[in-house]
């Protein structure tokens, strides 16, 4: 794996890599360099056939305080063209994680602020510690959560997203779970047990099927199921039924044995 200055990559279990944001002195706030490293790390891991699941975590007391304020201060006096390219890189990094063909888990503890909430939103599963707190804090600095906005809306819906962004209110993990920002809340001492349990569930599924799930669900919007959507789903399942992975899955089930993708 490539060397990173702001990230630590480690094998959490066979087939499972943990990407840990490693700037605890600034609560894992990210700047241009960390954005580039996150993009590079996920690009590498998404292409590695040996990697089945990716866990995103933060070192120290907090998951991520969002944007580094020194980075934002530099942006406030930078030319418009610089700001546009900088924002495009941030948007590309979030898209990289969101569109990763491998299942992703956010391990959230401490504070998740601004873009840190965005990082949780782009992961497939978010598991939070009971003491975790969340805030879409950009309005306090006279800016807005533009780049993370679509992912926030996808996670919690438009009205909750508006409330969180307009008020910049800090909510606790219980409320975050209620509105869909995180999927499970556990005591901090049990968060790694909960992450490992989720990893085990993910490793039991076919990696090809999981890739297809992410691709298909990424194309579906909430609303009426019209002819185009019905055709897309029919074409998808008819194609996937004929794959070697599907044949192996059914054969393993009927033979009452583990499928060949289950790591032992």
pLDDT for the residue 249: 97
Q: What is the pLDDT of residues 2-56, one digit of tens each?
A: 689 999 999 999 999 999 999 999 999 999 999 999 999 999 999 999 999 999 9
Q: What is the pTM of this model?
A: 0.95
pLDDT for the residue 74: 86
Q: What is the pLDDT of residues 71-106, one digit of tens each?
A: 888 888 889 999 999 999 999 999 999 999 999 999
Dihedral angle of Cα 13, 196, 108, 145, to the nearest 10 degrees: 80
pLDDT for the residue 2: 65
Helix then strand then coil, in percent of the chain rounded to 5, is 50, 15, 30
**Which residue in the list 25, 32, 131, 138 is annotated as catalytic?**
138
Residue 138: active-site member: yes
Going by C-beta distance under 8 Å and a sequence separation of 6 or more, which residues neighbour residue 140? 168
Where does the pLDDT of residue 69 fall: very low under 50, low under 70, confident under 90, or very high at 90 and above? confident
Statement: 7-203 belongs to CATH 3.40.640.10: no
pLDDT for the residue 1: 56
Beta strand 16-21 with 7-13 is antiparallel
Average pLDDT, the chain: 96
């Amino acid at each position: 794996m490539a060397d990173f200055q702001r990230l630590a990559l480690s094998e959490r279990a066979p087939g499972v890599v943990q990407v840990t944001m490693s700037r605890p002195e600034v609560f894992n706030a990210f700047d241009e360099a960390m954005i580039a490293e996150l993009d590079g790390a996920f690009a590498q891991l998404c292409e590695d056939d040996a990697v089945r699941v990716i866990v995103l975590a933060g070192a120290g007391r907090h998951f991520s305080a969002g944007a580094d304020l020194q980075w934002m201060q530099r942006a406030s006096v930078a030319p418009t063209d610089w700001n546009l390219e900088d924002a495009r890189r941030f948007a590309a990094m979030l898209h990289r994680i969101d569109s990763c063909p491998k299942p992703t888990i956010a391990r959230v503890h401490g504070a998740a602020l601004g873009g840190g909430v965005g990082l949780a939103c782009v992961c497939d599963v978010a598991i939070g510690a009971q003491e975790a707190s969340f805030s879409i804090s950009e309005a306090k600095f006279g800016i807005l959560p533009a780049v993370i906005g679509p992912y926030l809306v996808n996670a919690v819906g438009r009205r909750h997203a508006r409330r969180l962004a307009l008020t910049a209110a800090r909510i606790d993990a219980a409320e975050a779970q209620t509105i869909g920002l995180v999927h499970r809340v556990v005591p901090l001492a049990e968060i790694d047990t909960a992450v490992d349990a989720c990893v085990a569930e993910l490793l039991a599924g076919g990696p090809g099927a999981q890739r297809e799930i992410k691709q298909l669900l990424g194309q579906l919007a909430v609303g009426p199921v019209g002819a185009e959507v019905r055709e897309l789903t029919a074409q998808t399942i008819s194609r996937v039924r004929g794959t070697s992975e599907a044949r192996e899955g059914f054969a393993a089930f009927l033979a009452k044995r583990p499928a060949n993708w289950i790591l032992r």
